[in-house]
Amino acid sequence: MKKTVSGHTALYAILGDPIAHAMSPVLMNSNFEQLGMDKVFLALKANLTDFHEIFPVLVKLGFEGFVFTMPVKEVAVSYMDELTQEAKIIGAINCAVRKDGKLIGSNTDSIGFWKAIQQANDAEKPIRKAFVLGCGGFSKAAIAQAAIQGVQEIVVANRFEETSFMESFHKFQTRLLAHIPTVRITLVDWIPETWKSILPTCDLVANGTPNGMADKGDLHQIFPFDSVSSDTIFFDAVYLPRETRFLKMARSRGHIGVEGLDLLVHQGAVSFWNYTEKEASPSVMKENILRFWNEQ
C-alpha cells in the first residue's frame, strides 16, 4: 500500500542552502518505508540569513529530528539543549533529535567517517597517525573522531592564507585538546613537496576538501603518492563522482580506498538510530542511493 501522510505522521528535515542535491531524504524515507514507519523526511532551504527565523518555527511545529548541512552546521549549535562529546569538540552539528522535550545535537559525520574506515580496514591495521587534507567542517569532524578513537598524531594540511583560517583552527584545536590532551596536532601548509617527509609514517590519508568534486581539482596530480607506505588507507569525503581520481590513483597503487558514499551511508545509519533507536543497514542504504542515482 502506498504511504499516506496524515496528521499523525512524524516530520523530519534537512536544512541548508543549496539543498536540492541532499541525499538525506532518500536515505531516511527509504528506511522509514521499508520498516513501515509513519515518518517523513523533507529537504528545506535555510541559510545564515534566515535560519534564526525558520528553525524555531519548525521546532514549535513539532519536527522530531533534523539534519544540518552547509552553511548552518555551526549556527545550529546554539539552538541545542545538549551536545554530544564530538559535537562539543567540533563546534558544529549535522544531526539533532528531540528527546524528552530537549534537542540533542550530534555530529554523525564524525562517527560515520570512523565506521566507514573501520569497515574497509580488513587487516584491522592500527591507525596511530593520520594525514588530513583541509580543515573545513568535515575535516574537523574527522580529526575529532580520530582523536576520540585513540589516533595519537594528526597532521592537517591547509592553505595558510585562507581568511580567518588560523583563528578558527586554533579555537578548534583548543577545544580538542581540552577533551583529549594526549593527541598531537600538527598544522602544515598546502605545499605537497613538504608533505613527503611526513607521509611515510601515516596510516591514514583523508581528503576533507572539495578538490575532486565533479572531477574538478588537481589533488590526484599534486599528491606525493610515492611517499606513502604501501598499507596506508586512503579516504575521500567527495561522493560525486563515486570514485574520485584521487581514490582511483591510490587504488591503482594497491591502497585500500574508502569512498565518500561510504561516509554518507554510515553517518546516515547513525542518524537513523538517533531518530528511531532502530538499526539501519549501511549496505542497504548504499543500494537505495545507487538505485536513486540510476533512476535520475
Which candidate, 87, 83, 138, 85, places its Cα nearest to that of 113? 138
Which amino acid is present at 128? R
Extract the C-alpha cell encoding 44: 528545506
**Which residues does 176 contact at the CB level (< 8 Å), separation at least 6?**
89, 143, 144, 147, 183, 185
**Which residues does 47 contact at the CB level (< 8 Å), separation at least 6?**
16, 17, 71, 72
One-letter-per-residue 3-state SS of 141-166: HHHHHHHHCCCCEEEEEECCCCCCHH
The residues that are catalytic are 73
Task: Report the SS3 class of residue 14.
Answer: strand
